Structure 1
Amino acid sequence: MTKTIALAATLLSGFALPATAMAAESDGPLQIKLLGTAVLPDGKITSLDVNVAGIPATTQTEASENVVPTIAIEYFFTDNFSIETICCVTQHDVDATAGLAGAELVSNARLIPATFTAKYHFDAGAIKPYVGAGATYFLWISDKPGAATIPLGVTDTDLSDEFGFVLQAGVDIPVNDKGLGVSFDAKRYFVDTTARWYAGNTLAIQTEHKLDPWVLSAGLSYRF
């Protein structure tokens, strides 16, 4: 997080002056962004509902962080109002931090965080800070039992697809009058999932999780 803020400050100082001189005629209704995105889960187990396998009741987990490429597509209805959607696939492992500390519980869980936000862009010259909010649907496209669950007889793992809510803030900075710019974006997701571990056809473990990741992005934008 500190490195991200420092990088943003450096680029802002470098682009702030030339950005104010950019002509407005390049501001078309469509903007496409190619971003590098850090996905930083910040969730926890909220309840242990089924425990046939007998894991400790104090078990707590965390998901691994990941950095992935992201494409964002944004349409401006006015200079101040737009809608945006993003496309990416992120992969995470889930390890225990208490109860079974260090044990891998879920392996290679791959997620598409389908996200739509409505954004308000402030009038601050050529530099465009914004805030937004919207909806997300977490679609799990694959997951495998973690290494620590296999000796317990687990043969399959399932993470439920869920709707959630997302808040957003960031800034777009033009670097020339042809529509090219740089963008910095931060999102906080609020979404849950139900995790199930099966031994054959028997539900052995079921937990409720808050996922609530921070998603931080930086990269290039092109508006036309």
Structure 2
Amino acid sequence: MKNSLYLAAGAAALFVCTAAYADDYTPSKAGSWIVDLRGTGVLPANTDAIKTAAGADTGLKTHISDSYVPTLGITYFITDHISTELVLGTSHHKIKAVGPGVDLEVRDAWVLPPILTVQYRPAPASRLNPYLGAGLNYMWFYAGSGKNGFSVKVPNGVGYAVQGGADIALKGPWTLNVDVKKVFFETDAKVNGGALYSHVHLDPIVASVGIGRKF
């Protein structure tokens, strides 16, 4: 439900700004930069079983909370049609064990997940400038602590991402950005030194809407 509401809000913003655009806009081309300030939802998957060290299923699953944060997007046009994007931000998540009659927080964690993608843009000079991209991300878990007597270790690692989005030119150098990424990342979370573990597929959807400026 949250995913749908977030994307609907982005679509509404896109519609309003498209309907009210000005003809005076700065087209994108090789050598252009776009710097965006975005509102971003980081929406992890939550379907992984928690098992004992011997591999027995406990009947519990991991649940990782959504997070809504500001992020910074930096885009550089290598050519008119090829650009790179770096997204920077940090999100906070609660990690729970859930199951029949159980809803227990075991850790909170801050995550720094920079994402670097290469994008193809079929119409860079147009007011509506869509793109598709793919690239890598690094999941770095920091700060946070165990809860309710649990110690949980979540290793850092590299994942990959695919994306689709658009920059919509507003007046002059200003743009509206709408972007959706799917990040694929999995890791082995260990509870209490490995007494319990879960092979976690975080695989978040990262959905953003923001305002940018071209340089």
Same fold by TM-score greater than 0.5: yes
SS of equivalent residue, structure 2 residue 59: coil
Structure 2 residue 94 is matched with structure 1 residue 82: no
Q: CA deviation at 1:168?
A: 0.6
User: In 2, Cα distance between the equivalents of 1:100 and 1:143?
Assistant: 25
**What corresponds to 2:128 in structure 1?**
127
TM-score normalised by L of structure 2: 0.87
**What corresponds to 1:158 in structure 2?**
153
SS of equivalent residue, structure 1 residue 131: strand
Structure 2 residue 200 is matched with structure 1 residue 204: no
User: In 2, Cα distance between the equivalents of 1:113 and 1:211?
Assistant: 12
The CA RMSD over aligned residues, in Å, is 2.4
Q: Which amino acid in the other structure matches residue 116 of structure 2?
A: F
Structure 2 residue 97 is matched with structure 1 residue 103: no
User: In 2, Cα distance between the equivalents of 1:99 and 1:25?
Assistant: 55
**What corresponds to 1:192 in structure 2?**
186
**What corresponds to 2:166 in structure 1?**
171
Are the counterparts in 2 of residues 20 and 127 from structure 1 also a CA contact under 8 Å? Answer: no
User: In 1, Cα distance between the equivalents of 2:98 and 2:4?
Assistant: 24
User: In 1, Cα distance between the equivalents of 2:131 and 2:27?
Assistant: 20
Q: CA deviation at 1:174?
A: 1.3
Q: Which amino acid in the other structure matches residue 91 of structure 2?
A: T
Structure 2 residue 174 is matched with structure 1 residue 183: no
- Structure 1 residue runs without a partner (length 5+): none
SS of equivalent residue, structure 1 residue 59: strand
Are the counterparts in 1 of residues 37 and 211 from structure 2 also a CA contact under 8 Å? Answer: yes
User: In 1, Cα distance between the equivalents of 2:87 and 2:58?
Assistant: 37
Residues 161 and 96 (structure 1), Cα distance of their counterparts in 2 relative to 1, 3 Å cut: same
Q: Which amino acid in the other structure matches residue 32 of structure 1?
A: V
**What corresponds to 2:139 in structure 1?**
138
Q: Which amino acid in the other structure matches residue 10 of structure 1?
A: A
> What is the aligned counterpart of 2:37 among 30, 34, 42?
34
Residues 174 and 90 (structure 1), Cα distance of their counterparts in 2 relative to 1, 3 Å cut: same
SS of equivalent residue, structure 1 residue 4: helix
Which structure's CA Rg is the greater one? 1
Q: CA deviation at 1:105?
A: 2.1
TM-score normalised by L of structure 1: 0.84
**What corresponds to 1:12 in structure 2?**
14
- Structure 2 residue runs without a partner (length 5+): none
SS of equivalent residue, structure 1 residue 102: strand
User: In 2, Cα distance between the equivalents of 1:59 and 1:143?
Assistant: 22
SS of equivalent residue, structure 1 residue 57: strand
Are the counterparts in 1 of residues 50 and 57 from structure 2 also a CA contact under 8 Å? Answer: no
Residues 59 and 132 (structure 1), Cα distance of their counterparts in 2 relative to 1, 3 Å cut: same
